[in-house]
Chains A and B, each alone.
Chain A
Amino acid sequence: MFDTALTANDLVFLAKGAGMTLLVTASSVFFGTILGILFGVIRYQIGPWWATPMTLVLDVFRSIPLLIQLVLANAFITTVLGLRISGFAVACGVLSLYTAAYCAEIVRGGIEAVPQTLRRAARSLGMTWGQDMTYVVLPLATRVALPSWIGLALGVMKDSALVYIVQVVELLKSTQILITRLQEPLFLLMICGLFYFLISFPIARFGGYLEKRWSND
């Protein structure tokens, strides 16, 4: 198993793939979270009835396989609209919306977990809606939402393995390319799996720790 044809150049190639995975994840989680917070707050403010169209649209992102979302978005942009746009942009766009769809639910759950009485007290003290949101709701909702948000971010990292379909060479795809050339599937897959595991496992543990730490008080 250890006499491998893997060269230093191949390792650089894998590292580039890993970098791409992290880049796609980071940008999608960043934009997705901003959108998700926006959607979540709007959803909470206008109430479930008026938010029905938005909930339905966001629900679509959670009910269709990501692979099909990516293919559809890519086909729509490049062939229907006839725009020339990089696969990376398509991947980030779709993954951001995908993240936003889940994040909106997490944010809404977080806001709903803040007791109504507390918020009324804040408003009675003369705080504006913005002040109430930033000084009362934000700190309390974060405690409820952060563990789930960490889980979501890790989920997006794992799902980013699917962006190979729009010609983005991320970690799993670069592993695949090397496997085709070197014919050592087991060894290369171990490296690839180890990379995902080493990033995901400590953060997941940290999320579990936060959840335990923040739940009983």
Chain B
Amino acid sequence: MFNYNFRWNQALSSLPQMLEGALVTIEIAVLSMAIGITVAILLTLFRLSGSRPLSAIATTWVEIARNTPALFQIYMVHFGLGGFGIHLSPYLSLLIGIAFNNAGYLTENFRGALKAIPETQTRAARSLGMSPIQAFQNVILPQMLRISFLPMTNQMVWAILMTSLGAVVAMNTDLYGVTSELNARTFRTFELFAIAAVIFYVITKAITLSARLLAARLFRY
């Protein structure tokens, strides 16, 4: 049954290259999360602003991000924008695609978190003489970020997993891209992708664990 020669040595010898790819994967995930959180806060503000066009923008963004495949979004950024004559590098397309997706999901998480913060707090802050911006920044925002810390961790894990979708835009420096390029050269498909899977597993577990430790330290009160 097993007349297949496993050649782990050959695959393991390319581990340094794959670890470099893993660094790129983490870099993209972190950057896309940073952009995603910033945009999501902005979109949440759009929703709170009460202005119709602004909240329409937020709703459209959220619904498109949540109701189409992430693969489609990345593809759209790379080839769809290409139709407008905007040609982005695979790295940028992947980053923008994932950031777009993150922003959509995070805005929805923030909406849920906002529901948990009593309306009276805003009014109290306003009565104390804070401007609407100050009230949001000093009273609402910190609580919102705290409540949605766990969903944000999940989204971070998703971002790591989503970097593998760079395959569709010919990304070749992230973990998946490096692995498939090595595969094209050596044809040790099973061994190479098994190692990649282990690296992905370790990264995601490290993120979940450190987030849990961070939460225990940050939210003691």
Q: Give chain A's interface residues, CB within 8 Å of chain B.
A: 60, 63-69, 71-72, 75-76, 79-82, 154, 158-159, 161-162, 165, 172, 176, 179, 184-187, 189, 192-193, 196-197, 200-201, 204
Across the interface, which residues of A come within 8 angstroms of B136, CB to CB? none
Task: With both chains docked as a complex, state the minimum distance between the C-beta of B198 and any C-beta of chain A, in angstroms.
Answer: 9
Interface of A is mostly: helix
Q: Does chain A have a CB within 8 A of B46?
A: no
Is the CB–CB distance between B75 and A64 below 8 Å? no
A65 proximity list for chain B (CB < 8 A) = 161-165, 176, 200
Report A-chain residues with C-beta under 8 Å of the C-beta of B68: 158, 193, 196-197, 200
Whole-angstrom distance between the alpha carbons of A121 and B162 in the complex?
Answer: 46
Q: Could you tell me if A189 and B76 are in contact, using CB atoms closer than 8 angstroms?
A: yes
**In the complex, A186→B85 CA distance in Å?**
11
A63 partner residues in chain B, CB cutoff 8 A = 157, 161, 200-201, 204-205
Can you list 20 contacts pairing A with B, beta carbon distance less than 8 Å?
Answer: A63-B201, A64-B204, A65-B165, A65-B200, A68-B193, A69-B197, A75-B189, A79-B4, A79-B189, A80-B4, A81-B1, A82-B1, A82-B3, A158-B69, A158-B70, A159-B69, A186-B83, A186-B84, A197-B64, A201-B63
Please measure, in the bound complex, the distance between the C-alpha atom of A69 and the C-alpha atom of B67, giving whole angstroms: 23
Kindly provide the distance from the CB of B139 to the nearest chain A CB, expressed in whole angstroms.
26
Residues of B186-200 contacting chain A, CB below 8 A: 189-190, 193-194, 196-197, 200
B2 at the interface (CB under 8 A from A): yes
Q: How far is the CB of A216 from chain B (nearest CB, A)?
A: 13
Which positions in B face A, CB cutoff 8 Å?
Answer: 1-4, 63-64, 66-72, 75-76, 79-80, 82-84, 157, 161-165, 167, 176, 189-190, 193-194, 196-197, 200-201, 204-205
Alpha-carbon gap, A186 to B83, bound state (A): 6
- Give Cα A154–Cα B157 distance, bound, in whole angstroms: 19
Whether A204 contacts B193 in the complex (CB less than 8 A), given A65-B161, A65-B176, comes out as: no
Q: Which listed residue, B64, B72, B193, touches A189 by the CB 8 Å rule?
A: B72
From the candidates B67, B82, B190, name the one contacting A204 in the complex (CB within 8 A).
Answer: B67
* Minimal Cβ-Cβ distance residue in B for A204: B67
Nearest CB in chain B to that of A162: its residue: B71
B67 touches A80 (CB 8 A): no
* Residues of B with C-beta under 8 A to A81: 1-2, 4
Q: Are B72 and A172 in contact (CB under 8 A)?
A: yes
Closest to B4 in A: A80
- Residues in chain B near residue A193, CB distance under 8 A: 64, 68, 72, 76
Asked if B190 contacts A68 (CB within 8 A), the reply is: no
Closest approach, in angstroms, between the C-beta of B76 and any C-beta of chain A? Answer: 5
- Tell me, in angstroms, the Cα distance from A148 to B201 when the chains sit together: 24
Q: Which 9 A-B pairs have the closest CB atoms?
A: A186-B83, A65-B164, A200-B67, A158-B69, A161-B69, A75-B189, A75-B190, A185-B79, A63-B204
* B164-A67 in contact (CB<8A): yes
Highest count of chain B CB atoms <10 Å: which of A75, A154, A179 = A75
The smallest beta-carbon distance between A197 and chain B, in angstroms, is: 5
Collect the chain B residues with CB atoms within 8 Å of residue A179's CB.
79
Output the least CB separation between B101 and chain A (Å): 10
Q: For A204, list chain B residues within 8 Å (CB).
A: 66-67
Decide if B194 touches A67 in the complex (CB within 8 Å).
no
Contact B200 A76 (CB under 8 A): no
* Residue pair A71, B189 in contact (C-beta under 8 Å): yes
How many Å lie between the Cα of A189 and that of B84 in the bound state? Answer: 13
A204–B68 Cα gap in the complex (Å)?
A: 12
Q: Which residue, A64, A154, A179, has most C-beta atoms of chain B within 10 A?
A: A64
User: B164 to A68, Cβ gap below 8 A?
Assistant: yes
By beta carbon, the residue of chain B nearest A197 is B67
Q: Smallest Cβ distance from A44 to chain B, in angstroms?
A: 22
Complex-state Cα separation, A60 to B66, whole angstroms = 24
